[in-house]
Amino acid sequence: MLRATLLFLLLGGALAHPDRINFPNPACEDPPAVLLEVQGTLQRPLSRDSHNSPANCTWLILGSKERNITVRFQKLHLACDSERLILHSPLQPQISLCKAPANPLQLPGGNITITYRYAGARAPMGQGFLLSYSQDCLQEEFQCLNHRCVPLAQHCDGVDACGDGSDEAGCSSDPFPLPVHLQPPLLSPRHQGHCPQHP
């Protein structure tokens, strides 16, 4: 009897609400999932066999008011009557999508929220979505290959400010020079512009 009572207490929520599915994605819980990285990818957090439960999953991308966040869609095919992807920026009207836009979206003004909504109740589901986001650098900043932004003064200063060496690559004081066998051949001034004569 004690075992049955413990089992009921442990599974009580699932037994009382058999149509609810616990989504493992923290974006589908309250509060929204906070994304601290300057770049990343997002995809639909539930599988096509999750037709019973409605979903309301939100990601908050922390951004700077001075920088845009660019969103690019690798895939966006939702069932328009029952699924939506909603993007919101403080300086722009809300954007509601179920099909991919022709161009990447530039969202200004700081923190951006992206919400996926699904009606549930066995409503149709599309193929899902896959998007990437990145925070754009300011004009007075250098954008590293890893998408970090560093002040222009740190570009070519001999210190790896990016953490990936990209702010020092190709500089005259390049601490990450190309191997000798990959460097272009050096010509002396008297040979530049002249081809050797072959007999």
Residue pLDDT tens, the chain, 199 long: 444 433 333 333 333 333 333 445 778 888 889 998 888 999 988 776 677 889 999 999 998 888 889 999 999 999 999 999 999 999 989 999 999 999 999 998 789 999 999 998 889 999 999 999 988 888 899 988 887 889 999 999 999 999 999 999 988 755 555 555 555 555 444 444 444 454 4
The pTM for the full model equals 0.65
The reported pLDDT for the residue numbered 72 is 95
Q: In the CATH hierarchy, which fold is given to the domain comprising 138-177?
A: Low-density Lipoprotein Receptor (4.10.400)
Domains 23-136 and 138-177 share a fold: no
- SS3 per residue for 37-94: CCEEEEECCCCCCCCCCCEEEEEEECCCCCCCEEEEEEEEECCCCCEEEEEEECCEEE
Quote the pLDDT of residue 65. Answer: 84
Residue 197: predicted pLDDT: 52
Separation CA 168–CA 177 (nearest Å): 9
Look up residue 195 and give its two tokens.
């081809």
Q: Does domain 23-136 have CATH number 3.10.20.600?
A: no
Q: What are the residue ranges spanned by the domains of the chain?
A: 23-136, 138-177
Number of alpha carbons in the 13 Å side-chain half-sphere of residue 175: 13
